[in-house]
Homo-oligomer: A and B are copies of this chain.
């Protein structure tokens, strides 16, 4: 049998195969976590061979590190003015997409499903700080900005734990209700504390 070809009968570039593996690995890690995902599984989804993962990325750990370092870029609800940002994030967090589309990458699932792994945890820790908490705190004014940014991150991650990690039915269906208001206020208080 011949080697893998794309639709036009051509063979893949290394860069193309790399990209397919990256996409497949992102999804797999997001769905099942670092420890539960094997390179064979990733390679199958990427229509390639397990050996290519080691070839192109060095190791499964390197592949994971690469994905993690790009996963936590500060997202859409964090753009725009600081005023009202709390409610914006809350609305996005408790938004209508419940449960999230299983066919697209989920930051929170990616984080929570791998945070227990002794090898993945330090990688995720570094990524969260460098890509999220620090950039966010730089947009904030006032004292202890980084600590407040971390607290905000904690709230967000906590909601994520309950929703994707534990699949809690208690928070799941929440439109513009009390919980959403409470969360929005709590987030806003991290951004702009009442006492300056």
Contacts and interface: CB of A to CB of B under 8 A. Distances in A.
Interface of A: 32-36, 112-118, 121-122, 124-125, 128-129, 133, 143-144, 146-151, 153-159, 161-162, 165-168, 170-171, 174, 177-179, 182-183, 185-186, 189-190, 193, 195
A168 B150 contact: yes
Given A149-B170, A171-B150, A115 B179 contact: no
A162 B147 CA distance: 11
A9 to B, nearest CB: 39
A83 to B, nearest CB: 18
Report how many copies the assembly holds.
2
A68 B188 CA distance: 34
A116 B113 contact: yes
Contacts of A125: 165-168
Given A35-B35, A148-B178, A161-B154, A116 B112 contact: yes
A149 to B, nearest CB: 7
Contacts of A178: 143-144, 147-148, 193, 195
Contacts of A113: 115-116
Contacts of A154: 155, 158-159, 161-162, 171
A147 B115 CA distance: 25
13 contacts: A34-B116, A36-B117, A115-B115, A116-B117, A116-B165, A125-B165, A128-B166, A133-B168, A150-B168, A154-B159, A161-B161, A182-B186, A185-B186
